Structure 1
Amino acid sequence: MIEAVMLWNEPNNKSHWDPELDPDWMLFAEMVKGAARAIREVNPTLPRVLGGISPIDPVFIRNMAARGVLEHLEAVAVHGFPLDWNLWQIHEWPGKIAEIRAVTALPVWVSEVGVSSFGAEEVQAWGCGRTAELLKGEAPRIHWYSLYDLPREWEATTRHKEAEGSSYYRHFHMGLLRQDGTPKLALEEFARHTPDLGLCQWFHFEDHRLDAAVDWMRRLGVTHLRTGLSWADSFRPNALDWFDRQMAALQDFSVTLTFCFTPEHRGISPHHTSPPLDPAEYAAFCAEMVRRYAPAG
């Protein structure tokens, strides 16, 4: 069921890691190495993937290599949204992957790629098809972001502010399904490219969409899913009950499980993007989750 584990999410993006607290990523590197070692003690063969980077930056990968991080991993990953936020064109996808291949021998996954329907659903549908054409055969895993629109009542986990308009609100229009579960034009296009295209769908704590999402993924022919278990959520009441329910619901898929988000009370700064006060606690969380959901053998 668990195909791989991913250590953090977008570590070179200040929406997910605070560069003022760790400007050279030294603390991040030590945290990931510790977690990778802890996971290996629990499961000797489970692939470990560096959290998908955004922006796609070979300098960051060189930094991780110089700090010894890549020695503890089996793959690296990239995220790209050229029709929404990136300053490059969709046709440059193969070149962007080549930039990372040039600085590491590890496989390069695309763990998030997507197009919003903010401007028009037709743009999203075209972008889905063109993305599939460009990436199939280029990356061992391609996870389309996402199945559902982000509910408008929720807050986007991003550095963008509401005052920025489109940059912020595009986060709420990335799904193949609208918030109410009705299909967009891109859904049919996506289904033409499964199982080559997998999905990335984050489930919030006690997410009401879980069972419906599983039904949709089966109907669409999805076999590979990337999702996450939040270290911060692990301190909520009944956290393990929710984690168990989520993982049981996803048992028919090959899951890449992302471990991220610092609990506010365990960070250098009280924020989910903060380096932890004690990186061994993150390693312990990762090991516990692997022991529970991906034990050796």
Structure 2
Amino acid sequence: MIEAVMIWNEPNNKSHWDPEIDPNWDLFAETAIGAGKAIERVNPSLPRVLGGISPIDPAFIANMMGKGVLDHVDAVAVHGFPLDWNLWQIDEWPAKIQEIKAVTDLPVWVSEVGVSSFGAEEVQAWGLDRTAQLLIGQAPRIHWYSLYDLPRAWPATTRHKEAEGSSYYRHFAMGLLREDGSPKMAAERFPRHAPALGICQWFHFEDHRLCEAVAWMRRLGVRSLRTGLSWADSFRPNALDWFDRQMEALSEFDVTITYCFTPEHRGIAPHHTSAPQVPEEFAEFCAAMTERYAPPQIAGTPVAEQTEAAQ
């Protein structure tokens, strides 16, 4: 069920890792190395992927190499949104991947790529087709972001909020499906590119869309899925019950699971982007989740049986 684990999300983006606390990424490197070692101890055959970077910056990957992080992962990943946020054109995608390949021999995944329907659904549909044309065959995994629009009642995961102007509101229009679950024009085109294109869909704690999302991914021909298990959420009441339900519901897909988000009370600053006070605690979370959902001795068995064995 779990085909890979990703260590953090967009570590070079201050919406996900606070550079004021860790300006040279020394603490991130320590945190990532510890997580990589912990995951390997539990399941040595499980691929580990460095959290997708945004912006696409070869200097950041070179920094991670210099700090030893790349010795503890099996792939790196990039995120790109050239029609919405990035200051480069969509046709530059192959060149952007080559920039990363120039500084590492590790495989380069595209773990988030997307186009919003903020301006027009026709733009998103065209962007989907063009993205598929440019990227299929260029990366081992391509995850389209995302299946659903972000509900307007939920905040986007960004430090800038409404100060971004229209850029902030594009966060709410990235889905193939609208907030109410109805399909956009791009949803009709997506099956042409599946299963080479997968989906990245973040599920919030006790997300009401989970079962409907599974049905839609079947309909769209999705095989590979990227989602997350939040270290911060693990401190909520009944967290393991939710994690179990989520992972059981997603068991038919090839899942890349992302471990990320610092609990407020365990960060150097009280925020999910903070470096942790004790990096070993994040490693312990990664090990526990890997043991629960991807232990090598029972890999391939239903999650319910894995959970019973873990308990």
Range of TM-score over shorter length: over 0.9
1:191 Cα deviation from its structure 2 partner? 1.3
Q: Which amino acid aligns with 1:39?
A: I
Match of 1:126 in 2: 126
Partners of 1:153 and 1:83 in 2: CA distance: 25
Partners of 2:140 and 2:238 in 1: CA distance: 36
Partners of 1:281 and 1:296 in 2: CA distance: 22
Unaligned runs of at least 5 residues, structure 2: 298-311
Partners of 2:189 and 2:138 in 1: CA distance: 19
Contact 1:13–1:54 at 8 Å: present in 2 too? yes
Is residue 292 from structure 1 mapped to residue 307 from structure 2 by the alignment? Answer: no
Deviations 1:259-282 (A, max 9, x none): 000000000000000000000000
Is residue 59 from structure 1 mapped to residue 59 from structure 2 by the alignment? Answer: yes
SS in 1 for 2:19: coil
Match of 1:214 in 2: 214
Match of 2:304 in 1: none
1:188 Cα deviation from its structure 2 partner? 1.3
1:199 Cα deviation from its structure 2 partner? 0.2
SS in 2 for 1:111: strand
Match of 1:281 in 2: 281
Q: Which amino acid aligns with 1:283?
A: A
SS in 2 for 1:226: strand
Q: Which amino acid aligns with 1:281?
A: E
1:165 Cα deviation from its structure 2 partner? 2.4
Question: What TM-score does the superposition give when structure 2 sets the normalisation length?
Answer: 0.95
Partners of 2:94 and 2:189 in 1: CA distance: 21
Partners of 1:212 and 1:133 in 2: CA distance: 28
Deviations 1:141-167 (A, max 9, x none): 000000000000000001232143211
The residue correspondences of 1:171-186 to structure 2 (distance < 5 A) are: 171-186=171-186
Contact 1:160–1:167 at 8 Å: present in 2 too? no
The residue correspondences of 1:107-256 to structure 2 (distance < 5 A) are: 107-256=107-256
SS in 1 for 2:292: helix
Match of 2:24 in 1: 24
Match of 1:87 in 2: 87
Unaligned runs of at least 5 residues, structure 1: none
Partners of 1:266 and 1:84 in 2: CA distance: 34
Partners of 1:163 and 1:267 in 2: CA distance: 25
Deviations 1:11-43 (A, max 9, x none): 000000000000000000010000110111100
Match of 1:100 in 2: 100
Partners of 2:140 and 2:43 in 1: CA distance: 22
Partners of 2:149 and 2:104 in 1: CA distance: 34
Partners of 1:285 and 1:98 in 2: CA distance: 33
Deviations 1:85-142 (A, max 9, x none): 0000000000000000000000000000000000000000000000000000000000
Between the aligned residues of both structures, percent identity stands at 78
Partners of 1:253 and 1:103 in 2: CA distance: 32
Partners of 2:190 and 2:217 in 1: CA distance: 11
Q: Which amino acid aligns with 2:179?
A: Q
1:229 Cα deviation from its structure 2 partner? 0.2
SS in 1 for 2:49: strand
CA-based RMSD of the aligned residues comes to 0.5
Partners of 1:13 and 1:150 in 2: CA distance: 20
Give the length in aligned residue pairs: 297
Q: Which amino acid aligns with 1:2?
A: I
Match of 1:11 in 2: 11
Is residue 72 from structure 1 mapped to residue 62 from structure 2 by the alignment? Answer: no
Partners of 2:163 and 2:136 in 1: CA distance: 37
Partners of 1:56 and 1:163 in 2: CA distance: 23
Runs of 4+ in 1 over 6 A off after TM superposition: none
Match of 2:262 in 1: 262
Contact 1:16–1:273 at 8 Å: present in 2 too? yes
Partners of 1:189 and 1:201 in 2: CA distance: 18
Q: Which amino acid aligns with 1:110?
A: V
1:190 Cα deviation from its structure 2 partner? 1.2
